[in-house]
Amino acid sequence: MIKLCAIDFNYAKQPLLFNELSLEITKGSLFGLLGPNGAGKTTLMSLMTGLLTPSQGEVAIDGKGYRNHRFDILSGLAHIPQEYAFYPQLSAAENLQFFSSLYPGTMSQRRRRIEHAIELTGLTGHVKRLAKHFSGGLKRRLNLAIGLLNKPELIFLDEPTVGIDPQSRRFILQSIQALNRAGSTIVYTSHYMEEIEQLCNDVAIMDHGRILVHGPLNRILEKRPMVEIDLDPQQQPLAGTPFNQAIEEMGFTLSHHRITGKPRDQKQIAELLTAVSREGIPILNISYGKHTLEKLFFELTNTHLRD
């Protein structure tokens, strides 16, 4: 289990990014970490992998802190950064040999681990080529393969599917699922919501250094059923009208001929539809039910552009 207990962190000469942030990730889960650019995902991951140290609080992996058990924790962990974290001037085999030799083990153990990583990431037939000549997909797979050389129980994946073709993406996602099924705990960040929805059973959305929501994916999405009614945009502007006021009094939002909100119950949806029909405005589309992750994400983090 990963446990972050009331951690504070700030970069030098920067304001506090995390203030008493706490988070628990259960063993064996496939945990998705979402957030817009600058939300603090990579910093959080760096704290969890021991690359950064919190100014207050503690990060514990299976009850062990980095201060006293650093190498012990790192030996069972893999960090697969978003960048291609290998040597492009070396062949895939040379890269795998180099990184595997940094972990303890006999020659034959290392060889088996390399073979396993090659097999799992589908690199067979490419190992002798220089990594700089690889396609984006192959580079991503090599990046992943290097992370598997110590047979990690805990894997941190930072946007591992950026800039690759759908086939490679599918292959990588399947590999990640296979690793999780084999018992590895996986912490996964991505900007692709459908990936997180497809892969993860545990999700957290963060912004401005705070965890906004965290829990099992199904429960998060079910918690917040949403109604959306698209009205005919050809109608006269509705802002400031008594109809608008009535909608807001019911707890919904009317903006650009779209009504959105979280109804108390189904009876309130009926009241809302009655109000719309009384006004005689044609309805183009009605949706109600579970949030999609994307809708929840935008609801929590807003839609304005980030740096």
Partner 1 sequence: MLIAIVRKELLLVFRDIHALMVLFLLPIVFILIMSLALQDRMGGDSKEHPGIGLWLESETSLDKEMVAIFTRLEGLRVERAASRQQLLRLLDEKRILAAITLPENFTTAIRSPITDDREKLHILYSASLPASMRRSILGAVREALGEYQANRLFEYYNLPDEQRRQRVDHLIGHSLVVTSYHTRNGRAEQPNSVQQSVPAWLIFSMFFVVIPISTTLLTEGQQGTLQRLRTIPVPGSYLLIGKLIPYLGVNVIQAVLMLLVGIHLVPLFSGEGLRLEGEVWLLIPLTLAVSLAAISFALLIAARARSTEQATTLGGIGNLILAAIGGIMVPTFVMPALMQKIAALSPMNWALEGFFAVLLRQGGWEMVWPEIFKLLLFAGSLFLLALHSYKGLTDRKQ
**For residue 263, which of 246, 250, 277 has the smallest C-alpha distance?**
250
Query: Per rule CB under 8 A, is residue 299 in the interface with partner 1?
Result: no
Cα angle, residue 274 at apex, residues 263 and 267 outer, rounded to 5°:
35
**For residue 80, which of 150, 21, 14 has the smallest C-alpha distance?**
150
Residue with tokens 């029909």: 277
User: How many DSSP H helices and E strands does the chain contain?
Assistant: 11, 14
Query: Per rule CB under 8 A, is residue 208 in the interface with partner 1?
Result: no
Query: Per rule CB under 8 A, is residue 11 in the interface with partner 1?
Result: yes
Binding mask 121-160 for partner 1 (x = CB under 8 A): -------------------------xx--x-----x----
- Total number of residues that touch partner 1 (CB under 8 A): 36
Which one among 52, 162, 213, 286 touches partner 1, defined by CB under 8 A? 52
Least Å distance, CB 246 to partner 1, is: 50
Which one among 23, 36, 46, 138 touches partner 1, defined by CB under 8 A? 46
Binding mask 56-95 for partner 1 (x = CB under 8 A): --------------xx--xx-xxxxxxxxxxx-xx---x-
Query: Segment contacting partner 1 (CB under 8 A): 97-105, 186-194, 267-275, 286-294?
Result: 97-105
Listing from the earlier edge strand, what are the strands of the sheet with 226-231? 253-255, 258-261, 226-231, 283-289
Residue 41, sorted as left (phi over 0), alpha (psi -120 to 50) or beta, turns out to be: alpha
Task: Compute the distance between CA of residue 90 and CA of residue 229 in angstroms, rounded to an integer.
Answer: 56
Residues that bind partner 1 (CB under 8 A): 11, 42-43, 46, 49-52, 70-71, 74-75, 77-87, 89-90, 94, 97-99, 101-103, 146-147, 150, 156
